[in-house]
Amino acid sequence: MVVFKINYNFLEVYNLKMEVDQDLCISCGACIDACPEVFDWNDDEKACVKVDEVPSNIEDQAEEAMESCPTEAIIKK
Ligand code: SF4
């Protein structure tokens, strides 16, 4: 008898996660202006990601914010 196994991993939903490298952030505020739903100031007056996962409806906005960072401090996890 032949048994076929089907891999369903491709059906997993990819959830975008981001973080800000605190050593690279120069506190310009571009990311917060571009996507305040995801980025905010932290107590050190640097940008941080305030959500565990980027909501799918604002992924494009978050990507634009990432691209707007002059020091490339925003990375995908
Ligand atoms: S755009 Fe980059 S450098 Fe500017 S506040 Fe955001 S993370 Fe920091």
Q: How far is the CA of 31 from the centre of ligand 1 (A)?
A: 6
Give the global pTM. Answer: 0.83
The answer to the question of residue 59 being in a domain is: yes
Per-residue model confidence (pLDDT) at position 9: 54
Does residue 31 line the site of ligand 1, with CB under 6 A? yes
Per-residue model confidence (pLDDT) at position 7: 59
The answer to the question of residue 63 being in a domain is: yes
Does residue 69 line the site of ligand 1, with CB under 6 A? yes
Three-state secondary structure along 20-67? ECCCCCCCCCHHHHHCCCCEEECCCCCEEECCCCCCHHHHHHHHHHHH
Total tally of structural domains belonging to the chain? 1
The answer to the question of residue 58 being in a domain is: yes
Q: Which CATH number covers residue 61?
A: 3.30.70.20
Determine the structural domain holding residue 61 and report its residue range: 13-76
The answer to the question of residue 52 being in a domain is: yes
Structure tokens at 25: 């952030």
The answer to the question of residue 46 being in a domain is: yes
1-10, 20-29, 65-74: the lowest-pLDDT one? 1-10
The answer to the question of residue 28 being in a domain is: yes
The answer to the question of residue 4 being in a domain is: no
Per-residue model confidence (pLDDT) at position 10: 54
Per-residue model confidence (pLDDT) at position 11: 52
Stronger pLDDT, 13 or 69, i.e. the higher one: 69
Residues 6+ apart with CB under 8 A from 53: 15, 16, 17
